[in-house]
Each structure stands twice: as structure tokens, then as C-alpha cells.
Chains A and B, each alone.
Chain A
Amino acid sequence: MQRLKSSSGAAIPGCRRASARRGRSATLSLLSGLLILVAAAIAQTASEKPSDDVRRVGARLQCQCGCKDSLSTCSMLECSFSKPSKERIARMQAAGFSDAQIIQAFVRDNGQGIYLSPPSALGWIVPYVSLGFGLIVIWGFVKKYRKPKPLAELGSAQADDPALEQYKEQIEEDLKKLD
């Protein structure tokens, strides 16, 4: 659960000695861009912590800022895409649009690529199929290792067991020592 955000992007961590300068300047330009936003940042809207409704719709839409996350999970602060989009979802919901209509609007504006489908049936079936498979394995295990029941003489076996008879005395003696 190491939740970490590298706010300046991946410029620094990957740098080799030679490329450090380039990385640094890239960071700096990114930084100056962000600095302008600093003043506004403190006045963050509810879009930073979207409501469950916004999150539900946002999960179906991919963020276009370059990350691979959905709108609801994009972690970039002041993301140029996810932040206004979340606000747009909230506004449309307030205006009474349905989830499907909102998603449609986004697809219209950004192309089909933005849509993230919910998990298909495969997503549901596989965990339970694995459970069923496990049950079969257990059944096989039990079948293989189940001790065959001695036929009739369940009670008399104890007297007839020569191996046990031979050591019985010693076992009893040792057992007494245990308590």
C-alpha cells in the first residue's frame, strides 16, 4: 500500500548522470507551469474528492492526460483532463443527465477510445470457476487418500494387530509420562 505520487513526473528518478541536466530542465519547465496554478490549487473544488456518483461514471472513462488510469483514479494534481471532466460530470448529473448520456457526451467529444467497459462476464466467472475447480481437486484428493474402510471387523482389529501388541506396553508407559 505504498501510496506515492511523484509530482514532478518521472524525470528525475530515471536519470543517468549524463541525462540529469535534461531531466532537470524538463522538471523546471513543468514546475514553472505548475507554479501558476499554485494560487488556484488551494481553492480546489470538490472535483479533487469526487462524490460516489461522479466516481461511478468516471470509472468508465479513461483519463486522457497520459496516465493509464480512469477519470476517477487519475492521481495527478490539477490534471488538465480529469479535473475539468469530473466537474463536467458533476454539472451534468446536477442537470439530470443519466450515466449513459454523460458517457455518450464524452465519447462524442473524445472518441470511442475514452470508454472503459465494465468487466465482462469473464471477470465474474473466472474466480468462481477457480473455486469450482478447487472443489474438484479436493474431491480428487479425498478420493485418493481416503483410507479404505476395514470390511467388517472394525472392533476386533485392535486385538489382532500384532505390530501394535508388540509395542503396546511401551506406548502406554510413555503416554503416562506425558501428563
Chain B
Amino acid sequence: MENLGSLAILLAFCAAIYAAVASITGRIKRKPFLVVSGARAVYAVWSLITIGAAILVFAIMTGDFRFAYVAEHSNKAMPILYKFTAWWGGQEGSLLFWSWLLSTYAAVVTYTNRRKHRDMMPYVIGVLATIQTFFLMLNNFIANPFQMLAQDRLIVSVPDGNGLSPLLQYPSMAIHPPMLYLGYVGFAVPFAFAMASLITRQPGEGWIHTTRRWTLVTWLFQSCGIMLGMGWAYHVLGWGGSWGWDPVENASLLPWLSGTAFLHSVMMQEKKGMMKVWNMVLVSATFLLALFGTAITRGGLVQSVHAFARSDIGKYFVAFLALGIAFSAYMILDRLDYLKSENQLESVVSRESSFLFNNLILLASCFAVLWGTLFPVISEYLNNNKISLDADWYNRVMVPIGLFLLFLTGVGPLFAWRRTSIDSLRRNFQMPGIAALVLAGALFAAGVHNFYALVAFGFCLFVALTVIMEFVKGGKSIAAKNDMNLVRAMVELTHRNTRRYGGYLVHMGIVLLFIGFTGNAFKQSEVKELNPGGTMQVGHYNLKMVGLDQSENDLYQSHSATLEVSKNGEVLGFLKPERRFYKSSRESTSEIGLRTRLNEDLYLNFAGMSDDNQRAVIQAFVNPLVTWQWIGGLVLIAGTLVCLVPSKVKLQYARTEVVGYTTKHATIEK
């Protein structure tokens, strides 16, 4: 078994090298045989890694504790779902998972483009196969998941394994890593297309259509991954928040931010043939940041609470990153003539400039997060001064930047392409601007004196109104023309240009997210040691402990408290926070007690027992508006899905026909 698994990934390694070499040589020497067999090698790599992964998963499922990996990351008592997730629960397995996802992407890309981009595809395969080779190198020689436990050169087995970290035994944690990895890995595809278009000097922007779609898919996965991670942190970690600016969290945010910048600035290239160099830089940066993120998560490049394996794998990532930076920088610099801008800016007050600012802010926030992640390392290296950045630092740096970004989200779509006169601006800004000011004023009068919160709520309303206006105005126009009701007209409108109106939905999701974030400004918390019968107060809630229980099963021992929640003397219900201690991994987890409402959450965490083991330590939080964060995440994901639906209206027009060339009528899909 283990030998077959090792062989499969070793063969995959060879096939990946072959795929890279054959595709590129085949393309340069114009040998169709090599090109085709290179493409086939991509499918072979996928099949081989799948076999390897299947063997590993089988070993985990059957509890084959001769495998070092299985003994370390699973045990007999684990439910079957979490046994499966143990595949990516540890270093070796997760790197194999990375490889497998990359090979899946490569196979899908190769298959879907088998008749498209003929001259470019060999290079796309070449780039993807090179990245694949790197990861398979790690799988084979650095972090091999098929290592056995050995004693005096004899393979031995242990009776039971350590089990997966109980923190990860949570449903959203089962899908969070795959989503995030799909995001990280997927950014390799746009990168490969960008590099291939540079190498072949593709005329026109045809390749952009393919790339943009892949970026959007990847971005969707990355967003899902980040949202799931936030949800997990909130519901499992028990500290009452969802984002702690931990290096690993930051790592997932970095490619997301630069990817967002790319999705916006690529419109400049499509519409006007401008900013080509910049877009290349963004595509490359996004992929490299995704690699960097993997290095942080997997390699302990930056010390983090959560980057678990402190192995030496980081240096391989650093080397590969350096190679990637050098390659993409060389390609871009060498092809500057090909990337020349085709157009000019008609006016400073235009959609074009709003994109410039949008990119500036997204990149600045990306840089600030990167800086915060690396600053302690740099500082210690430079002057041996040990520092630590806490969440507070990030909040102070990021809140102003984030608010400005929110503002641009609303303003950008109000500017017209090319030029916008004062008259046009007035038409679009007047109503939402006044409404936002009125809201901020009203909130101030109502006693909200937090400056950032006032600004945030004002901007949120502003952006929400501009988005709604877009839908209503467009809907009305279509409704009048086609004689349908407004709701149907708005659906029709969205269907006609899914990319734009899906984008607006994403903006709406961002607004809701910001509403949720702003709630943090009004967070209240309280800690108290309680006896049964004891009471505490948090916000306007009264909590009374009515029971303190202990229990035990095969997996864990647990303590739980039952608290009666009341407000103004009226009993609202009972919450039962629990603390579990997992036996095999000797880790404890919290099962929080949560009362979710649209306006606020009551969040109870059983922090532990007091020193004398008599009283329960209960942490209580009132988190206003948190639910909007999750709703915003869902809207954002729905909006992205809408973007991916092909638009209904297709431009049907006659292609220029040439005798001897294709004579089909072409359909341009947006």
C-alpha cells in the first residue's frame, strides 16, 4: 500500500516534469505530438496524485497506524467525516492536498481549453506543471505522507493515534481549508495565463476573458474560505470575535485583496486597453501572495500562533517565491513594449480615475497587512528589537483605510467612463449624500459619539442607496420598455449584464459586512466566576447560573453551565456554554452558548473552572450587529455567483471574414 502510494506520487513528479518540458518544447519546435502528450501528462499527474491521495485517505479511514501521518492526525474514535478531513489536517497531508487541487485545476483548464488558445495553452500547461513540480518535490522528498513508523528498521504500528485537533472537529472547519486552498491554488491559473500571454505576445485581450473568469472562481473560493474561517473563529475559539489579525488570517487576506484589485483594474484593460503592465503585476502579485500565504500556513515563515509545523519547509517556499518573483518580473520588463497602453485618459473625473483610487486603496491595505505581518520579523532582524503588533495596531491602521474603501465602493459606480461633468455628478450624488449626512446626524443626536462608527454608518447608507438606485433606475427603464413589473425588470436587468449587477450585489455584501464590523465598536464584555445560583450582568442582559454539570464520553470530558438569560426581568431563555477536554489530544475546546438576533448576539463562553474547582468562569459578550457580517458574506458569495452566470444578451455581429479562414458567425460572451 504505502509503496504504491509513494510510487504514485513519484511517478506524478516525473510526469509533471515531462508535462512542462514536452509542452514548451513542443510549442517552440512546433511538434504537435509533444504538445498533445504534454497535455496528456497533465491528466496523468491528476490520476496519479488521486491514487496517492486515495491510498492515504484509505489508510486514515481504516486506521492503519503504521503510517506516521495517520498515527499523528487521526484516531479510532473520530467520526468518519473528520477522518476524511484529517487528509489536510497535518503538514504532509495538506501539501498533498495542495498538489491534488493544483493538478485538478490544471486538468480542468487543459480540458476546457483544449480547442481554445492553441498557441498559448502549451505555455499555460508549462507554467502550471512547473508549479506542480515544485509541490510534488515537496510531497516526495521533503514532507512525504507515506512515511512509516519504524523501530530498529522494522515497521511498527501504534495501537491508536493522536487524533485530529479537536478545534478542527467542527463542521465549518471540514470545508474551510478546502475552500481556502481552492482559493490559494486557483490563483495559479490566472498567473499561468498571464505569463503565457506575455511569452506569446498575444494580440488583443481575448485571453483576458478566460483569465477573468478563473480569477472570479478562485476569488469566490477564497471569499468562502475567509468567511468560513471567520465563522469558525467566532463559534469555536470562544474569544467573542471573528478576526484577530493573526498572521495566518492575514495570509488569507493578502491574495484576496490583490485579487480584488485585479478584478477591478482588468476592466480598464478590457474597456480601454490601459494599465496592462499594472494588471500583469497584479496577477503575478496575487499568485505570489497566495504562495506566501501557503508558506506562512505550512512553513512557519512567520511565527504564528496557528502555523503549526515549525519545520524547515519554509526555506523551499522562500526559494520558489524568489524564483517566481524573478521570472514574472523578467517577463513583464522584457515585454514592456507589448504591454503599451492603447488609450488615454479623457478626464480626471471619470470611472477610470475611480479605478485608480480603488486600486491604490486595495493595494495599500494589502501592503499594510503584509507590513504588519512581516514587521516584527524585519525589526528583530534589523536592530534586534523584539516587538509585537497586537490586533489594536491593525485596527488603528486599517479602519481609516477600510472606510475609504467603503466610500469608493459607493462612489466608483457613480462616475461614468471617460468623463463625468459636475451636472452628472450632482444627479447621482445628491440623494444618497444627503441621506447619509442625515443618518449620521440622527445617530449623533441619538447618542452615538464614536467618530468611526458614525462615518461607517453614513458610508454604508450612502453605498447601499447608490446600489439600490442602480437597480431601480435600470429596472424602471427596462420595465417601461418591455411592460413588466419592476422586480421582474430588475431580474431581467441583472440577467442582461450579470457581471455588472452581480458586482453591485457584491458591493452590497461589502456594505453589510461593514455594518457587522462597525458593531465591534459597541461590544461589551464581562467575566465572572459563578456558583450555581450566582448572577452576572452584561449589557442589558441578566444572567443567572441555574446548573453546573459534568459528563464524560469516549472522546472528551466536559463541564457545562446552564444560564438563565433575562432582560428587564423577563426570562428570554437558557444558554448552555460548555467546555470540553479531549482525551487523546489533551486539548480543550469551547462550545459557546449563543443567542443570535439581528441587532445583537449574546455570546457566552465557559472559560474554565476556578482555581478551587468550585465555580465556573463565565465570559459574556454582547456583540451588536454581528449577524450582518454573516448575511453580508452570503450576499457577497451570491453576487459572485451571479457574476459567473453568462449574460443573456450576447452581441451578435458579423466577424470579419476572410476566404481561407474561419467563416463562422461568432458570439461574444461577456
Q: Do A and B come from the same complex?
A: yes
Which residues of A line the B interface, CB within 8 A?
Answer: 1-8, 10, 12-18, 20-21, 24, 34, 38, 41-46, 48-49, 51-52, 55-56, 59-60, 62, 67-70, 72-75, 77, 113, 115-120, 122-124, 126-127, 130-131, 134-135, 137-138, 141-142, 145-147, 174, 177-178
Interchain CB contact under 8 A, A2 and B177: yes
Say how far B175's CB is from chain A's closest CB, in angstroms.
13
Interchain CB contact under 8 A, B152 and A142: no
Q: Interface size of B by Cβ–Cβ distance < 8 Å? A: 98
Q: How far is B344's CA from A177's CA once the two chains are assembled, in angstroms? A: 28
Contacts of B346 in A (CB 8 A): 147
Known: A7-B162, A10-B309, A116-B387. A147 touches B585 (CB 8 A): no
Contacts of A123 in B (CB 8 A): 371-372, 375, 379, 387, 389, 393
Say how far A83's CB is from chain B's closest CB, in angstroms.
11
Contacts of A137 in B (CB 8 A): 360
Interchain CB contact under 8 A, A127 and B345: no
Contacts of B345 in A (CB 8 A): 142, 145-147
Interchain CB contact under 8 A, B344 and A120: no
Considering the complex, which residues of chain B in the window 364-412 have a beta carbon less than 8 Å from any beta carbon of chain A? 364, 367-368, 371-372, 375, 379, 385-390, 393, 397, 401
Contacts of A115 in B (CB 8 A): 386
Query: Which of B41-49, B458-466, B484-492, B608-616 lines the interface with chain A?
Result: B608-616
Q: How far is B446's CA from A88's CA once the two chains are assembled, in angstroms? A: 42
Extra contacts besides A3-B233, A8-B72 (16): CB < 8 Å: A1-B246, A4-B168, A10-B309, A15-B147, A16-B147, A42-B557, A42-B579, A43-B610, A44-B588, A59-B388, A67-B303, A68-B303, A120-B385, A123-B393, A135-B360, A146-B344
Query: Which of B24-32, B89-97, B511-519 lines the interface with chain A?
Result: B89-97
Contacts of B469 in A (CB 8 A): none
Say how far A5's CB is from chain B's closest CB, in angstroms.
6
The verdict on B617 contacting chain A, using a C-beta distance below 8 Å, is: yes
Say how far B349's CB is from chain A's closest CB, in angstroms.
11
Most buried by A among B345, B557, B653: B345
Known: A44-B609, A119-B393, A138-B360. A75 touches B150 (CB 8 A): no
Interchain CB contact under 8 A, B348 and A116: no
Which B residue sits closest to A24, measured CB to CB?
B149
Contacts of B583 in A (CB 8 A): 38
Say how far A61's CB is from chain B's closest CB, in angstroms.
9
Contacts of B152 in A (CB 8 A): 21
Interchain CB contact under 8 A, A38 and B356: no
Interchain CB contact under 8 A, A13 and B177: no
Please name the 5 residue pairs, one residue from A and one from B, whose CB atoms are nearest each other, closest first.
A1-B229, A44-B608, A127-B368, A68-B303, A4-B308
The verdict on B656 contacting chain A, using a C-beta distance below 8 Å, is: no
Known: A17-B148, A119-B389, A123-B387. A46 touches B348 (CB 8 A): no
Q: How far is B615's CA from A44's CA once the two chains are assembled, in angstroms? A: 11
Considering the complex, which residues of chain B in the window 603-659 have a beta carbon less than 8 Å from any beta carbon of chain A? 605, 607-611, 613, 617, 619, 651-653
Known: A3-B248, A46-B617, A127-B368. A13 touches B150 (CB 8 A): no
The verdict on B587 contacting chain A, using a C-beta distance below 8 Å, is: yes
Known: A1-B176, A134-B363. A145 touches B653 (CB 8 A): no
The verdict on B353 contacting chain A, using a C-beta distance below 8 Å, is: yes
Interchain CB contact under 8 A, B248 and A2: yes
Q: How far is B71's CA from A60's CA once the two chains are assembled, in angstroms? A: 38
Known: A4-B306, A8-B162, A134-B363. A77 touches B588 (CB 8 A): yes
Q: How far is B303's CA from A116's CA once the two chains are assembled, in angstroms? A: 15
Interchain CB contact under 8 A, A49 and B653: no
Say how far B597's CB is from chain A's closest CB, in angstroms.
24
